[in-house]
Structure 1
Amino acid sequence: MADVAAIAGVSHQTVSRVLNEHPSVRDETRDRVLAAIDELGYRRNSAARALVTSRSVTWGVVTTGSALFGPTSTLIAVEEAARDQGYYVSVATLRSYDTASMHQVLEHFMDQGVDGVVVIAPHDEVAAAVESFRAPVPVVVVAALDEVPGSSPGDGSGGSASSIMSLAVDQRAGARLATEHLLALGHHDVLHVAGPQDWLDARERAAGWREALAARGLEPAVPRVRSWSAADGYAAGRDLAEAVVAGEGPTAVFAGNDQLALGLLRALWERGVRVPDDVSVVGFDDVDGAAYFVPPLTTVRQPFADLGARAVAMLLSALRGEAVPRQRIEPELVVRSSTAPPASPAA
């Protein structure tokens, strides 16, 4: 920085202001400093800066390593939003969800001196393990919970469970949107093919489906619980197709995610069950390509870019010592050709 200052004919403090984008620097002075930086190939020493400011300008992100659309999209959104704010992320993938594994990852981040942590926590065990770790930095848990156990909105101070904040797309509201759409079309028998119930999102989606049916005075059938895969959707679809052909099946299905819906569509097509003429199908996530399924899939879109921006904003607010309440983001129903009113009974 001293060399840059000498070439630009300014003080060391002016170079620092330029690097930190301080608004008080005149344009011609800033241009002169930037030209000197380019000439010398100067690069800021992040380690030295962290020692001076007590900030690493890095956040830790814990993910479960799932290749599924939701967790992966959340990770990408958080990383992009962090870079937009001048932060970088250090990612740790968790293969085992036990408390010891989570604590090991969080201790690693503390050793790195991260300024905050985002935990993408789709499983019960992950959320519980985070709560038991007393992190000295703010932690945002991205999870479909009313609140993180033992946490409070807090004031952003570290060193206790009060530094844990929760954020999520409202999965229950999204499931209600999907189910209410089918009910509004005139369907009264809406089956739910659910994701694995150790996933928080899957349980919240099942709860939203039940609530929407109950609001219409309808008794929900037992949901068919599967994994998140298209293969499991296909297996459920084969059973469903036989019931529909026999005149005993539902007229509509709410699938726990778009991959399950994809498998369902394939199985129904193979058996000659028409979508949406015989059965309407709704998915969840709006994965890339959902608009090109046959037929194009009605689904619930999760606003991942907003989710990432909110997580970053919460960390920044906590670092400023501001109170940070729990936050929920509303999803959006995207209506396409896989849903229609039920067919009229044959005369």
Structure 2
Amino acid sequence: MTSPTDILPVGLEDSLPSSAARITAAMRACLDVLDSHGYDRVRPPLLEFESSLAARMPGLQTPNMFRFVDPASLRTLALRSDITPQIGRIAATSMKDAARPLRLAYSGDTALIRASQLDPARERLQLGAELIGTDTVEAASETVTLAIEALQAAGLTGISVDFTLPDLVDTLAAQDMSLSRNTIEAIRRELDTKDAGGLTAAGGAAYLPLLFATGPFEDAMAKLRELDAGGVLATRLDGLEAIARRVDAMENATESGIENGGARITLDPTERHGFEYQSWFGFTLYAEGVRGSAGRGGTYRIGGSEEPASGFTLYLDRLAEGAPEPEAAQVVYLPQGHDRDAAAKLRREGWRTVAQIGEDEDAEALGCTHVLEADGARELG
């Protein structure tokens, strides 16, 4: 029987050996991809002053963070809910004089006070990359294709990427001076909920076609081009098409019937949930076997320095659900009095070893596939 003292809080769970192995393998594969593209890993602290986290990322919800008073400084500390603001702080302070564009990678735990019903997890293992110091289509393209390549390296298939334009409403509303701030906010809200009736009632009838400019990328883009009669969105739409071409050109397509390279591409131009601090471009990643999204990213500006950047975050513990089981290792049981030099040689060759500690141990029950004998490793069974 489980003791009440052994029950974990809602939204938190243990990762047992099989799950932890998948997460670790996915993390290593993703970090190797980022490193191969010139992204240097940094490790910001788990805790920071609340004011510092809030200052670097507009729209960050600090009330959703675990907060408490630091007995040393008597200032409010916060347990990070997102690592991206910390990368922004590093870029704006410790690495402000580093050459641009600056490429940084990270991996670490985050926590939330409360989660959503759709995603009840209150702890996440994030991994990501930030490209800092430039706001170009080329930079955004690198971010998207790098994220897809990282997912592929982790063994995920059926990858799709959904593009969005986070500042779409602001861009269009800037051309219509008759709309009040309250009306614009109401239009955003109704577009978020995809409510055509509510959108009309809010004074946003002109924005109704945006609700239908969604779906497969080419079809949705054609509808957006038709809507953009004045050419207000031309630069952004050209940018989206250039990014899509980069995704189309990717090598190492998955084996799930994808013909256009690394991922299927869709477009939902009015999607804003999770893109509160993004500027002109955002994207969400999906993959087979992964509940919800595998990650998201886009372009933004670092609070305080206003330096442009683009990046992405992958949710490792979530995407590991769709990752394949790591290849089973050969495990050698080492009886008492075994040849230690021979055991060390096996480990150098990539074997795992389990040394006998007590009497009456069952080597096979301990997961061993071989036993070390005088003439080498002999297969059990």
Q: What TM-score do the two structures reach when normalised by structure 2?
A: 0.23
Q: What TM-score do the two structures reach when normalised by structure 1?
A: 0.25
Q: Which has the higher strand share?
A: 2
Q: Which has the higher helix share?
A: 1
